[in-house]
């Protein structure tokens, strides 16, 4: 699943670069949204590099540089958050491993009607069509 996430970020950046000068304001707004998402993803990319093979890590580094060139560098607050991401990843892995704070198991409940169940009578009487003249 990892590479698909990086492809999505790359697609956001491509959408931003291709559509930011579009004449329609709605399309420009969508391009800015893509650019914002790509910029926010910059915080996650360095933490992900340690889990990749060298070739993929290089590709991810190039993507990071490309995002910084198009959307601007990370702010000091974003750089600090980027340093905390590996800790958050380890914390999440710990919680998953020890089943802490996970969603409860899904249990399906079915309610069956008995064989003698009948539909209720209609609220309005049915129309008598015998007196309609055609």
- Strand residue runs (E) in the chain: none
Q: Report which secondary-structure segment, H or E, holds 87.
A: helix 76-97
Tell me if 12 is assigned to some domain.
yes
Tell me if 115 is assigned to some domain.
no
Distance (Å, whole) CA 51 – CA 65: 19
Confidence of residue 104 (pLDDT cuts 50, 70, 90): confident
pTM (predicted TM-score): 0.67
Q: What is the extent of the structural domain holding 41?
A: 2-97
Tell me if 126 is assigned to some domain.
no
Cβ pair 32, 20 in contact under 8 A = yes
Listed in sequence order, the residues at least 6 apart from 86 whose beta carbon sits closer than 8 Å to its beta carbon are: 47, 50
Predicted local distance difference test score (pLDDT) of residue 1: 45
Tell me if 114 is assigned to some domain.
no
Tell me if 129 is assigned to some domain.
no
Q: Is the pLDDT of residue 122 over 50?
A: yes
Distance (Å, whole) CA 33 – CA 20: 10
Total number of residues shown for the chain: 134
């Amino acid at each position: 699943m990892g590479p698909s996430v990086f492809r999505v970020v790359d697609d956001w950046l491509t959408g931003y670069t291709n559509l930011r000068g579009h004449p329609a304001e709605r399309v420009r707004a969508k391009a800015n949204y893509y650019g914002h998402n790509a910029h926010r993803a910059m915080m996650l990319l360095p933490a992900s590099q340690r889990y990749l093979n060298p070739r993929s890590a290089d590709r991810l580094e190039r993507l990071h540089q490309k995002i910084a060139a198009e959307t601007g560098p990370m702010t000091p607050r974003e750089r600090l958050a980027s340093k905390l991401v590996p800790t958050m990843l380890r914390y999440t892995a710990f919680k998953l491993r020890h089943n802490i704070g996970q969603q409860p198991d899904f249990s399906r409940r079915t309610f069956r009607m008995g064989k003698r169940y009948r539909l209720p009578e209609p609220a309005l009487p049915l129309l008598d069509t015998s007196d309609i003249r055609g």
